[in-house]
Amino acid sequence: MLNIALKFGNEKGFVLPVGLMFLAIIAILGTTAVIITTTDLKIGTNYKLSEQAFYAAEAGIQRATNALKAGTSNGFDDELLGTDGNPGTSDDGILSFGSSVSFGDGTYAVQVTDNNDDGDLFSDSDKKVIITSTGTVNNASKTIKAIYYYREVDVDGALGIYGNNPTVELSGASEIDGRDYNVPPDFDCSGSGCTATLAGGAPAEPGIYAEEAITPVGLITDETDNKQNVFGDPPVKEDGSGVGSVSYWQNFANSLTPDLTVDSASESTITENIFGSRDNPQITIITDSVGTGTHVSGTIDGAGILVVNGDLQITGTFHFEGLIIVMSGGDLVVTGTGRSITYGSVVLAGSGVSSEVDYGGHASIRYSSQALLSAADSISGLSSWREREL
């Protein structure tokens, strides 16, 4: 009995060190959990700030793109030099919205620089510039660089008709006008509401340009009995010296990336507004897999570039701003009592066969450099986009 008592007596106080050991382990685990949680929170916060900075930088790229679209027809020299027009100053490459703009919980800073294609950083020769946008939120920063390019649309007149044996016929109150027009005040217009004023002092283009002599039907090129339906400088030009040709326009059309493709086999008659708008010009390509042609009917507005393979017939009230290209030897026929009016230019590329333009009723083609900007906007944009973290 004595030995048993001594044995149990030696175990007195054993619970205390065990309890202290467990308390130490729990304290270590708790501290570790706090450290891990705090680290995760910091990582999450940094990631969130980094994402916000990235979105701010993206917003700067988009803001710069919109600003450049508004004034690129004369190149980028003004943007590279800044408001003071002098190189090597603090406002070089600063756009109209300023050097730093608040966005969400941070800011973005944008600068435009030349891509140094010609050795002169303040003279643009290829209509390409580099946009650098840095978004900053708290201590997080992200930088995005992108090349913005502007692609011009160069035409030979209000109507350019290429290929062999072209025919142009005008009847009724139809007209083809090479004088430079503004676009209508309201894009969503119809009929007489789509009339617009002449651009003051702007030079005129040929009303009709053709590589070869055309077969004219009903064309009145000077004022006769108070009537004239072809205007321009000159009204008709037939000499093959233009910038375009059948192969030029074929290559141009094939280089386009469409926003919308429609096949006349499934939609031979188009009655909806699917051709873009002034605020969002688009590239629309109509294919003609069954050779039946395309019919556009109803009250329709559009802007950008419309490429039609095969015949195109327009009836109703049609208003388009930009460039219409009729390919594959297709004919363009406009009839009906509604008013069809195109501001910009119309091109027929006959691919070695005869093409015919037949405008009747109250239909018009009016050259408009302003409308052709919609066409240019639809094929200009960003390339070589990349992100760099500061």
Q: Where are the domains of the chain?
A: 54-150, 159-378
Say how far apart CA 37 and CA 313 lie, in whole Å.
Answer: 69
> Tell me, what amino acid is at 140?
A
Peptide bond before residue 87 is cis, with ω within 30 degrees of 0: no
3-state SS assignment for residue 29: helix
Half-sphere exposure at residue 129, Cβ-oriented, CA atoms within 13 angstroms:
33
Contact 374, 304 (CB under 8 A): yes
Is 303 exposed, middle or buried, given 0-12, 13-18 or 19+ CB atoms closer than 10 A?
Answer: buried
Q: What is the pLDDT along the chain (390 residues), one digit of tens a residue?
A: 445 444 555 555 667 676 777 777 777 776 776 676 666 566 666 778 888 999 999 999 999 988 887 665 567 888 889 888 899 999 999 998 998 999 989 999 999 999 887 788 888 888 889 999 999 999 899 999 999 988 889 999 999 999 888 999 999 999 999 999 999 999 998 878 888 999 988 899 999 999 889 999 999 999 877 789 999 999 999 988 889 899 999 999 999 999 999 998 888 889 989 999 998 899 999 998 888 889 999 899 999 999 999 999 999 899 999 999 999 878 899 987 778 999 999 999 976 667 899 999 889 999 999 999 889 988 988 877 676 543
